[in-house]
Amino acid sequence: MNLDTNKELSRIFKDMSDIYLFRGADDRFRSLAYGKASKVVDSLPEDISVYSKNRSLNDLPGIGEGIAEKIEEFIKTGKINKYEQLKKSVPYELLDLMEIRGFGPQSLKQIHKELKISTKQELVQALQDGTISSLKNFGQKKVENMLRGLKLHKAIEDRMLLWDALEAGDKVVEWLKQIPEVKKIELAGSLRRKKETIGDIDVLVASEEKFRRKIISHFTSSTMVEKILVKGDTKVSIILKETGKQVDLRIVNEDEWGSALQYFTGSKEHNIHLRTIAKERGYKISEYGIFHIKNEKKIAGSTEEEIYGTLGFQIMPPEMREDRGEIELASRNQVPTLIALDDIRGDLHMHSVWSDGMNTIEELVKHIRKYYSYEYIALTDHSKSSRIANGMDEKQILKQINEVGKVNKMLGVNFIKTGVEVDILADGSLDISDEILSQLDWVTASIHSNFNRDVTKRIIRACENKFVCCIGHPTGRLIGSRESCIMNIDMVMNVAKSTHTALEINAQPTRMDLNDEWTMMARKKGVELVISTDSHSLSNLNFMKLGVYIARRAWCTKNNILNTKSWKEIELFRERKLKHIELL
């Protein structure tokens, strides 16, 4: 189903929430209300107009009368007047900086008011030339922090998150597939290799030469297109309206499909390495095919397998093509069968209304049983120290265990495993007692506070708790807004391994934590890994594939990932840890 309206509305509400947050004290309540509404709308399983038609908008959690009116207005007119007004009341361009450390609403407001700054460019300038240091409360340390935050933000501002790029790329592919002259189509470049951020979206099409023009004009006529950058016979580059990001479309003949796909998938480093080997063996590879150097005769080009095969290599999944040793592996016929989405048998990290999730336990379960073929899930709401996330205390955990029992009974299977995402406190202790933890099926321990000091000891102490099964989002980084915590990751992994504690590959689009490189390191060390969505709403459950992509980029097979196994095997994993720690 197409939920574009919900998404757009959710985005507007998030914007309104940010604007109110910027405006400050008096609007704090409104900011929270619109923030909640944004999440609620995004998590709806059906188009918002359905709820308007059957007059159930008011029944949705977090949607009061005022917000319901705005929704009606949006459905009718495609706009919200109040939103347009609000935008004019603030330096709108500065608002997306608010998520960066050091750029809170207070700071931005002061900068805006006292220096009359309202664009990012002016702000960066003032930071660099020292103007900002002249303000009260902007000492050297604060300014240094802001500069670092800005650098992180820059890295993602010019690129896209993988999740956003996949969504945009899929739309482009769908649009192009509408015309039958498109014989073959595939996303290429970093998007096909599933890198965590994407510079531009590369799309490859095969067609008969005479249809190229038609395909190009079909492409550029799409309402998705903001502006055309380059328009040639075989290549067009455009800017997308929604994201402002670039798409490169290339059209080739069908007998060049394999060589073009190989070439434009990259990575550049992989290609260069491959080409060097080809040359040594008397071949030349280009986007047009593979040729004998001697007589320039073309040997092949229509499939990727032929290109690799001619050199005596196995083909390998795009996620591996980063020149990290995959070519050597392929030459020895040792390319592993990487984990696939279908191998995942359960999701072990998700939140419900019992903490900061959007859905009730029943809603989650109903949805998962309908759309996923999982054998189990673990409910891991936050614990009490996560106050903003409305974390559970011991009493609530016991109550939830009871509730889960009831729902499982209703289902007739032990589908829901009880659990918690327990906070690792500043000294490495947990904020829930062992007595309670021992009653849960699955315990993930995570750091949600005090990121700034070295966290190695804290994580190690958490690993040493016999009831902790997994460390959640182990490095704590947020792509574009927060660096990894300072930690000795080598030591953490060794302890995780020796204490039989799993490390999480958190699949949230801005987390992707562990990332591909850390996951590769964990795999090599034999650390147990779990891929989880950390869902806070129904749509978040889809993030699982992002986690699988990370694992694939780290060359993981399904044996490296714990939640490809049956619940029985996961219980054995837990028992091994219990026995091991008790022996110490």
Report the interface residues with Ca ion, using CB under 5 A.
189-190, 200, 202, 248
List binders of Zn ion among 144-203 (CB under 5 A).
none
- Least distance in Å: CB of 190 to Ca ion? 5
Name the residue nearer to ligand DGT (CB basis): 318 or 472. 318
What span, in angstroms and rounded, lies between the C-alpha atoms of 188 and 170? 12
What span, in angstroms and rounded, lies between the C-alpha atoms of 341 and 347? 12
Strands 160-161 and 197-198: antiparallel
Q: Which residue is nearest to ligand DGT (CB)?
A: 266
At residue 476, the 3 state secondary structure works out as coil
- Least distance in Å: CB of 64 to Zn ion? 29
Name the residue nearer to ligand DGT (CB basis): 323 or 362. 323
318 binds ligand DGT (CB under 6 A): no
One DSSP character per residue, 204-260 reads EEE--GGGHHHHHHHHHTSTTEEEEEEE-SSEEEEEETTT--EEEEEEE-GGGHHHH
- Least distance in Å: CB of 17 to Ca ion? 33
Stretch that binds Zn ion, among 115-123, 193-201, 210-218, 441-449 (CB under 5 A): 441-449
Q: Which of 50, 155, 272, 413 binds ligand DGT (CB under 6 A)?
A: 272
264 binds ligand DGT (CB under 6 A): yes
- Least distance in Å: CB of 531 to Zn ion? 15
267 binds ligand DGT (CB under 6 A): yes
Name the residue nearer to Zn ion (CB basis): 389 or 489. 389
Count of residues engaged in binding ligand DGT, rule: CB under 6 A:
14
* Cβ 115 vs Cβ 496: under 8 Å: no
How many other CB atoms are found less than 10 A from the CB of residue 128? 12
List binders of ligand DGT among 178-207 (CB under 6 A).
189-190, 195, 198-200, 202
Stretch that binds Zn ion, among 138-146, 323-331, 438-446, 569-577 (CB under 5 A): 438-446
Largest CA distance in the chain: 79
> Cα 345 from chain centroid?
20
Shortest CA distance to 202 belongs to which of 136, 288, 244, 261?
261
- Least distance in Å: CB of 516 to Ca ion? 17
List binders of ligand DGT among 77-96 (CB under 6 A).
none
Q: Please list the helix, strand and coil fractions of the chain in percent, rounded to the nearest 5, in that order.
A: 50, 15, 35
* Cβ 349 vs Cβ 472: under 8 Å: yes
Query: From its phi and psi, is residue 167 left (phi > 0), alpha (psi between -120 and 50) or beta?
Result: alpha
- Least distance in Å: CB of 446 to Zn ion? 4
* Cβ 434 vs Cβ 440: under 8 Å: no
Close Cβ partners of 240 (under 8 Å, ≥ 6 residues apart): 168, 201, 224, 225, 226, 246, 247
Contacted by 446, from ligand DGT, Zn ion, Ca ion, none: CB < 5 to 8 Å by type: Zn ion
Q: Which of 271, 386, 508, 537 binds ligand DGT (CB under 6 A)?
A: 271
What span, in angstroms and rounded, lies between the C-alpha atoms of 11 and 348? 28
Name the residue nearer to Ca ion (CB basis): 248 or 381. 248
Q: Which residue is nearest to Zn ion (CB)?
A: 446
259 binds Zn ion (CB under 5 A): no
Contacted by 347, from Ca ion, Zn ion, ligand DGT, none: CB < 5 to 8 Å by type: none
Q: Which residues pair with 377 in a beta bridge?
A: 347, 416
Name the residue nearer to ligand DGT (CB basis): 206 or 445. 206
480 binds ligand DGT (CB under 6 A): no
Give helix 212-220 / helix 162-177 axis angle, nearest 10°. 130
| Phi, psi angle pair for 534, to nearest 5° | 55, 40
Q: Kindly provide the b/e burial profile for residues 480-502, where b requires at least 16 CB atoms within 10 angstroms of the residue's own CB.
A: bbbebbebebeebbebbbebbbb
Name the residue nearer to ligand DGT (CB basis): 87 or 281. 281
266 binds ligand DGT (CB under 6 A): yes
- Least distance in Å: CB of 526 to Zn ion? 25
List binders of Zn ion among 445-474 (CB under 5 A).
446
- Least distance in Å: CB of 198 to ligand DGT? 5
- Least distance in Å: CB of 248 to Ca ion? 4
Helix or strand holding residue 203 (H, E): strand 201-206
Name the residue nearer to Ca ion (CB basis): 122 or 202. 202
What span, in angstroms and rounded, lies between the C-alpha atoms of 215 and 236? 10
Stretch that binds Zn ion, among 151-159, 364-372, 443-451, 551-559 (CB under 5 A): 443-451
- Least distance in Å: CB of 250 to ligand DGT? 9
* CA atoms lying within 13 Å on the CB side of residue 302: 4
* CA atoms lying within 13 Å on the CB side of residue 503: 32
Q: Which of 213, 268, 281, 524 binds ligand DGT (CB under 6 A)?
A: 268
- Least distance in Å: CB of 570 to Zn ion? 20
User: Which chain residues interact with Zn ion by CB under 5 A?
Assistant: 446
User: Which chain residues interact with ligand DGT by CB under 6 A?
Assistant: 189-190, 195, 198-200, 202, 263-264, 266-268, 271-272
